[in-house]
Structure 1
Amino acid sequence: MKRLFITTMVIAAIAFTACNSGNTSHEAHEHDSTTAAAGETAKAEAVGDNTPPTAVQPQFSNIDPKVAASLKTVVARYLQIKNGLAADNSGEAASNGKAMAEAMQQLDKSALTPEQQKVYTENEEDLKEHAEHIGKNEGNIDHQREHFAQMSEDVYALVKAYGGGQPLYHDFCPMYDNNKGALWLSETKEVKNPYFGNKMPDCGVVKEEIK
């Protein structure tokens, strides 16, 4: 019984630390297939943890100043949603989701060039929908996180095209959504996971720095 208890404790410890270290042991593979899958995913994503993130320059450098200011506000609200979810604060995420949807209404996309407009319109409808859903679901943080994962794809596309008004980091959590993984953007290089909050705050790796 003592040996069984020790083995169980070791497996639990490996599952908890896999996202950070990515060093799942062969023994854990033999005892717990779920832990093994999570650990292997985390291990694959954590390779190069000590490697500096790839530097990325936005696609467009000639954005209309008023549009750039509006986009900066949209991104700022996104970052506040991220910070709210990382702190397990559903109310903060909701209030900023509403504010983000309102900020998008103020953006004059007619000031963009046709090529620039194409990128924005491809992401506009989905992004606004996700912001509204996050705003309407205070108290249901799991649902907010589901929409945040999809929202992050849209914001990432916009930031890669236009920039975010400040350096941003493209982070990736390998364990979210049953180890399918999800990205998010952050204003700091320090990882603060919005998908697991205080359960696993530093789960994730920094992929890119978008200047």
Structure 2
Amino acid sequence: MKRRFRSLITMSLVAGSLMMYSCGDSKKEKEETVSHEDHEMHENSDHTHSENSGHSHSEKTVAAAEFKNDGVKQVFNQYLEVKDALVQTDAEAASEAAKELQVSLEENNPEIAKIAGNIAGENDVNKQREAFSELTAAMDPVLKQAISSGKIYKQFCPMAFEGKGDYWYSNSDQIRNPYFGDRMLKCGRVEETIQ
């Protein structure tokens, strides 16, 4: 019985270590803001990065992106509201933000509006996160073609969707994971800076 218990504990520690390693596998990236200590499951501080020894990254960098037209700027800001609601694991707020995004997209991008509508019509945050993945992929060409100045951070979590990994956009280089919320708030890295 003791041996079985020890085996179980050992396996749990190995699994936990692998999870932390997977999420922190890109520390080589210059814009990386994640450290192993950041993977504490219940880390909620938005301002404390003192555990990132060697980095004076105590404040997030927010880059106000400007776009060739105001419609895309509005859509990007609404997208960020959906993302932030998912970071908070707030299905109701995500639904409300997605409704506004859907209305903004209906005229010029009906296919993307439909994806936003899928988020708006759902009250299960995990299903909203799946639709958000589709939304992010659909927004890629829209944002890349329309940005005129500033930066957008394309971020990636290798742990999302059972280790398949997935992307999201942010106006900050600070990682706030919409796929896990506070369970793995800082899991991820800046994959691309769009400017």
User: Cα–Cα, structure 1 residues 165 and 126, in superposed 2: closer, same or farther, change >3 Å?
Assistant: farther
Residue-pair matches, total = 159
User: Cα–Cα, structure 1 residues 197 and 62, in superposed 2: closer, same or farther, change >3 Å?
Assistant: closer
State the distance in 1 between where 2:88 and 2:31 align: 26
Equivalent residue number for residue 112 of structure 2:
127
Letter in 2 for 1:10: L
Equivalent residue number for residue 26 of structure 1:
none
Is 1:174–2:182 an aligned residue pair?
no
Calculate the aligned-residue CA RMSD, in Å. Answer: 2.4
- Output one character per residue of 1:3-51: Cα deviation in whole Å (capped at 9) or x when no partner: 42541342242144234333xxxxxxxxxxxxxxxxxxxxxxx2633x2
Is 1:20–2:23 an aligned residue pair?
yes
Residue 148 of structure 1 is aligned with which of 132, 157, 162? 132
- Give ranges in structure 2 of 5+ residues lacking alignment: 33-65
Shift of 1:74: 0.7
| Percentage identity across paired residues of the two chains | 25
- The 5-angstrom pairing of residues 79-158 of structure 1 reads 79-105=80-106, 124-137=109-122, 139-158=123-142
Letter in 2 for 1:78: Y
State the distance in 2 between where 1:21 and 1:172 align: 11
State the distance in 1 between where 2:182 and 2:175 align: 12
Residue 48 of structure 1 is aligned with which of 28, 34, 46? 28
State the distance in 2 between where 1:7 and 1:79 align: 40
- Output one character per residue of 1:96-136: Cα deviation in whole Å (capped at 9) or x when no partner: 100001112465xxxxxxxxxxxxxxxx2331111111111
State the distance in 2 between where 1:101 and 1:136 align: 11
Which structure has the highest helix share of the two? 1
Shift of 1:210: 1.7
* 8 A contact 2:67–2:73 mirrored in 1: no
TM value normalised by structure 1? 0.67
Equivalent residue number for residue 75 of structure 1:
76
* 8 A contact 2:153–2:191 mirrored in 1: yes
Shift of 1:198: 1.2
Which is higher, the Rg of structure 1 or of structure 2? 1
Shift of 1:166: 4.8
State the distance in 2 between where 1:17 and 1:185 align: 22
Equivalent residue number for residue 204 of structure 1:
188
